[in-house]
Amino acid sequence: MGIAAWEADEVRHANESERTPVLFVHGLWMLASSWQPWRSFFDQQGYATLAPGWPDDPATVEEGRAHPDVFAGKHITMITDHYEEVARTLRRPPVIIGHSFGGLITQQLAGRGLAIASVAIDSAPFRGVLPLPFSALKGAFPVIGNPGNYRRQVMLTFEQFRYSFANAIEEREARELYDRYPVPGSGMPLFQAAFANVKPSTEAAVDSLNPDRGPMLMITGGDDHIAPPAILRASFAKQKRNPSTTEMVEVPGRGHSLVFDSGWQDVAAIALSFVQRFAPASPNPAQRAE
């Protein structure tokens, strides 16, 4: 599928800036545009940000909702390989930040030695992570409850979005977010994650022991339904065996929407503080000349 023209433009801009790149990875039911507030925040701190999409993602939410079949059939390896291709075109190794399934992909990319530092937020579980809380099963049930959804796309109803993403915010804000962000999502990644521990060849596997993984921060919302803290703690137990720094933060009272609801900047500040410790922003050429 290759790198889209707009993604290549973002890579070119990051390379020409000579700043430390920060690559954002979105999750299921989202588009790259959902990272725009974070991109502005990190840009202002001196980083060069880019947010590729999953392969063949449409440009806008409106387009995605109008043509839902474009999301069907996307699976984890396809998505991770695409982000690896983008990362390898950067002149400097990037910081990688991902949310939800983007958090799982972030861990896979870090496990391939591609990240100078990484932040996985409300990450989907990988093989070896055993807890499967009831809320996570309920959140995934609109997809995995029907085996026929494996090769299909599924759009969440507002009620499903409210439970899975927006349970920790007021209903008015939840409705505003539902109107603004979600698109149909591929069924494959959810099935792959749900059955990772019974399928040795699963695509939902992470190399948590690679010594080139780099520092990693894991963040979870304390009230997250679809990726509850029990999943983070079990994932952290796997990742902390790595010789690089591994840290975790649980943000009380926050749900799965914590990266794009009205409290997103609190979470972005936690991520930024970690990133600045291990991958400081580099000044652009004009700043160095002063």
How many separate domains does the chain show?
1
CB 211 within 8 A of CB 243: yes
> Cα(9)–Cα(7) distance, rounded to whole angstroms?
5
Q: Is residue 198 part of a domain?
A: yes
pLDDT score, position 90: 98
Burial of 171 (C-beta count, 10 Å sphere; 0-12/13-18/19+)? exposed
Instruction: Please list the ranges in the chain whose pLDDT falls under 50.
Output: 285-290
Q: Is residue 290 part of a domain?
A: no
Q: Is residue 130 part of a domain?
A: yes
Taking only the tens place, the pLDDT of each residue in 193-234 is 999 999 889 999 999 999 999 999 999 999 999 999 999 999
Residue span of the structural domain in which 116 resides: 5-285
Q: Is residue 11 part of a domain?
A: yes
pLDDT score, position 285: 46
pLDDT score, position 288: 44
| Torsion sign, CA atoms 128, 129, 131, 137 | negative
> Cα(250)–Cα(235) distance, rounded to whole angstroms?
13
Q: Is residue 134 part of a domain?
A: yes
pLDDT score, position 287: 46
pLDDT score, position 137: 87
pLDDT score, position 284: 53
Q: What is the CATH number of the domain that holds 83?
A: 3.40.50.1820
Q: Is residue 252 part of a domain?
A: yes
What the block records as the tokens of 60 is: 């806008």
CB 264 within 8 A of CB 37: yes
pLDDT score, position 283: 65
